[in-house]
Amino acid sequence: MKNIGIDLGGTNIAIGIVNEDYSILKKGSVPTDSHRPWQDIVKDMASLIEKLMKETGTTMDEIKEIGIGSPGTPDIEKGVVLYSNNLGWDMVPLREELNKYIDKPVYLDNDANCAALGEFLAGAASGLDSAVILTFGTGIGGGVILNDRIWSGFNYAGGELGHVVIKTGGQPCTCGRNGCWEAYASMTGVIRQGNEAADAHPESELAKLRASGTKLNGRNIFEVAKAGDDVAQQVVDQFIFYIAEGVVNVINIFQPEAVVIGGAIANEGDYVLEPLRKYAKRDVFCKQVKLPQIIRAKLGNDAGIIGAAFVGDYQSKKTM
């Protein structure tokens, strides 16, 4: 049997037919074009599924179930996206609509949870019983898997690990609070910190790069630091410490077997992971026990497809 995983993003809908061993038989994508009616988006999902099945000679009998990872807050029992800021959605019944085209069980979860589940089943955290997967991009996404199940709260709105205040009264966050981890340890955070440092040190290479017309971003701030600019290095060191503050918080809270680091920051590999491990060793509350592993995400964008494909089997149910 095979499952179908749908990773619904703000830009693209990525869909894969996924084998029982979590390998992707075939995947494809179409633009989301999120401004159109959601009915049209679901119709495109169904068409892409049909196309992928045709191309691989997969029959409907071979499909066990379909999973959708969507931005926003899902009602996993009803298969409805309650609310998505990203897509501008309110109460969109994805399960019911997709079932108009394909008569298979359809499961729905948050996209970050699906990506986390993908890493848990087939990626960096494969073989473990618990893991917290963090994705560092414009914001910080989190997926929490405990006792082999996604934990997302009684109202499916949990796991918002980027919105843990680490500096009370600090930088304004998009969520309306001040001092969220996301405001410091995301790409948005490091770019702000880089610009502040460039303002304060016009003699630095970082300031010169910016003066040449290049916008600062995570990648070039790291590059200038590695090339020897002290100012950029301080920005990077402080940024890694901010990441560590939240990672140590996650460990003190959850003590999962692994903390998996994904997103742009994961590309820096041990340059970031090694200091994180040192901070964790130094700063965790309980130093007498084995520490969680801090490891790099493995699957990239495929995590969302693979996780969505199997999400129906890993959602927390009240009957657990």
Q: Enumerate residues 95-154 that contact a second copy by CB under 8 A.
A: 129-130, 144, 146-149, 151-154
Least Å from the CB of residue 313 to a second copy: 14
Q: Enumerate residues 239-268 that contact a second copy by CB under 8 A.
A: 241-242, 245, 248-249, 252-257
- Answer yes or no whether residue 32 interacts with a second copy by CB under 8 A: no
> What is the DSSP-derived secondary structure letter of residue 165?
B
Least Å from the CB of residue 111 to a second copy: 14
DSSP, residue by residue, 18-75 = EETTS-EEEEEEEE--TTS-HHHHHHHHHHHHHHHHHHHT--GGGEEEEEEEESSEEE
In angstroms, the CA 131 to CA 128 distance is 7
Among 37, 57, 127, 176, binds a second copy (CB under 8 A): 176
- C-beta neighbour count of 49 within 10 angstroms: 23
Among 28, 93, 158, 300, binds a second copy (CB under 8 A): 158
Smaller CB distance to a second copy: residue 35 or 318? 318
Among 44, 223, 283, 313, binds a second copy (CB under 8 A): 283
In angstroms, the CA 299 to CA 262 distance is 9
Least Å from the CB of residue 34 to a second copy: 18
Report yes or no: 187 and 217 within 8 Å, Cβ to Cβ.
yes
**Tokens 């997926």 label which residue?**
143
Smaller CB distance to a second copy: residue 114 or 164? 164
> What is the DSSP-derived secondary structure letter of residue 161?
G
Distance, CA of 273 to chain centre? 17
- Name the segment binding a second copy (CB under 8 A); options: 9-17, 215-223, 229-237, 286-294: 286-294
Cα of first residue to Cα of last residue in the chain, in angstroms, is 25
Smaller CB distance to a second copy: residue 44 or 257? 257
Binding-site ranges for a second copy (CB under 8 A): 73, 82-83, 129-130, 144, 146-149, 151-161, 163-169, 175-177, 179, 184, 241-242, 245, 248-249, 252-257, 282-286, 288-292, 316, 318, 320
